[in-house]
Structure 1
Amino acid sequence: MKNKYRVLVVEDEPKAREQLVGMLGQFEDFSDIFEAGSLKEAQRICESEDLDLAFCDVMLPDGMSLDWIAQRGKIDFELIFITSHQDFATKAFRLAALDYLLKPLDKEEFRTAVLRFLTKKDKKNSQIEQLIHNLKSPKEQTKIALPTLHGYLFVEIRQIVRCESDNTYTNFFLKDGKKLLVSRTLKDVEQLLEDFGFCRVHNSHLINMDYVEEYLKGEGGQVKLSDGTHVDVSRRRKEEFLGQLKKW
């Protein structure tokens, strides 16, 4: 027998809330759908109901859902955030590998988020904790959630020396010598790390500028990193790399 899940929709705009409830109604997997227009209402429902999933608008009349979640402590249901601000905290959501949806809601993106929830068995408590950490901490302390076969491994960004493409996967090479194979493309990784001093020097290579020891001239050239690795610089990316190197 298929599992039935109980879901909460926290959204202060009546039309947006109605749309969300209607979209959820298209799935047979949800037995109960609760609605809240404020954090106070959401808190009341959470205290009386056993939830499996919550859709939370980031900004609500009585506060921010992120602060409310941080204050709750343990979260025993999964979360999908909703925001109308494309730049607002989206980097933090991606770094913690949490789902978020932008307004106006796209039906396909919504469906993908729901299906991702339905196929997952693990809870996101550690990801929620990491999200709050990322939002409140300076960049050098921020961690990234790396999807592994067993769940997620949280790694300090400053410990990443370089990343190398392996088709649809990416190898992460860390300062302590560890190598991690992660199910993300190098393009995805580049988008996550572009604000943290990383530079794409080749179609296959992304490097942490903090670990650059030497640049060897050539058609594209080579970069020597502090772990002794030599990484080729492509002709197409040489100018961008040299420009970033001067700033660094």
Structure 2
Amino acid sequence: MYRTIIIEDEQRIREALSIILEMVASDQIQIIAYAESVEEAVKLIDRLKPDLVFMDIVLQNGTGFDVLQQISFNSFHLIFTTAYEQHAVSAFKYSAIDYLLKPIDPEELKTAIERISLLQERVLEKHQLNELQHNLSKTPDRIILPTQEAMYVVKLDQILRCETSGSYTTFFLIDGRKIMVSKPLKNYEDLLEPPLFFRIHQSHLINLNSIVSYSREGMVHMSDKSVVPISRSKKEQFFNLMKDN
């Protein structure tokens, strides 16, 4: 059972989330407290030491970030809840922080809890929060790549190409580093898109600025001396994109 605190300043949303949690995860979730304000949230987290926290970004007298900066206990899973806004959604994805859109969808909530069950006890990294705040304030230019060893903050223009194999994706960086994450390429495709990136093949996504040459036969030579195939279904789109550029 995950001892859970819901931090949300709108009563109807607190009640709705509680009802949905009872519907989809009654055997996994035990709600131990609710909070509406920053001060109340800080006190409850430090006193009750929950396993899981659902937290809205905008609270009474402050934000969820204020809560996270003031707490002394931070060994819990965190899921932000947020109203729909495409820029904010992208910011969460770039920062590798879990989130749910309001109104809460039961299936998405169930999936989020299932993701947590696959993780070991986790402390939210401060640089993840810094990146989220950075990405919320402007167009994201960095992405967090989580691995078993560390959280890597990578500038988008430093990604040379990505290659996927099953449920894993390897990021090849311009400086020669390779970072493997346990997520398929489709999870990143909507974050790494034209005009800088292009998914050229089912297994490959490339930085268009790192192309050295390409052939009509369907092969692209990259600046790291790798050769990437162009899938038949992507050829026309790729050649038109290169022509336009």
Q: TM-score range by the shorter chain?
A: 0.7 to 0.9
Q: Does 1:229 align with 2:226?
A: yes
- Are residues 151 and 116 of structure 1, via their aligned partners in 2, closer, same or farther at CA, if it must alter by over 3 Å? farther
Q: CA deviation at 1:74?
A: 6.9
Q: Deviations over 1:49-74 (max 9, x none)?
A: 22221101122343332354346587
134, 142, 165: which is aligned to 1:136? 134
The 5 Å alignment of 1:209-220 reads: 209-216=208-215, 218-219=216-217
Secondary structure of the residue that 1:80 maps to in structure 2?
A: strand
Secondary structure of the residue that 1:89 maps to in structure 2?
A: helix
Q: Does 1:192 align with 2:180?
A: no
Among all aligned residue pairs of Structure 1 and Structure 2, give the percentage whose two residues are the same amino acid: 38
- Name the aligned partner's letter for residue 105 of structure 1: I
Moved more, 164-173 or 99-108: 164-173
The 5 Å alignment of 1:119-198 reads: 119-126=118-125, 128-136=126-134, 142-146=142-146, 148=147, 150=148, 152-156=150-154, 157-194=156-193, 197-198=196-197
Whether the 8 Å CA contact 1:56–1:79 is kept in 2: the answer is yes
Secondary structure of the residue that 1:82 maps to in structure 2?
A: strand
Q: Deviations over 1:1-54 (max 9, x none)?
A: xxx432210112212101222333452344552111222321232343222211
- Which structure 2 segments of 5+ residues have no match? none
Secondary structure of the residue that 1:55 maps to in structure 2?
A: strand
Distance 2:194 2:34 in 1: 37
Match of 1:64 in 2: 63
Distance 2:42 2:173 in 1: 41
Secondary structure of the residue that 1:40 maps to in structure 2?
A: helix
Superposition RMSD in Å: 2.9
Instruction: State TM-score, norm by structure 1.
Output: 0.80
- Are residues 134 and 224 of structure 1, via their aligned partners in 2, closer, same or farther at CA, if it must alter by over 3 Å? farther
Secondary structure of the residue that 1:171 maps to in structure 2?
A: strand
10, 15, 31: which is aligned to 2:12? 15
- Which structure 1 segments of 5+ residues have no match? none
Whether the 8 Å CA contact 1:162–1:173 is kept in 2: the answer is yes
Q: Which has the higher contact order (CA 8 A, sep 6+)?
A: 2
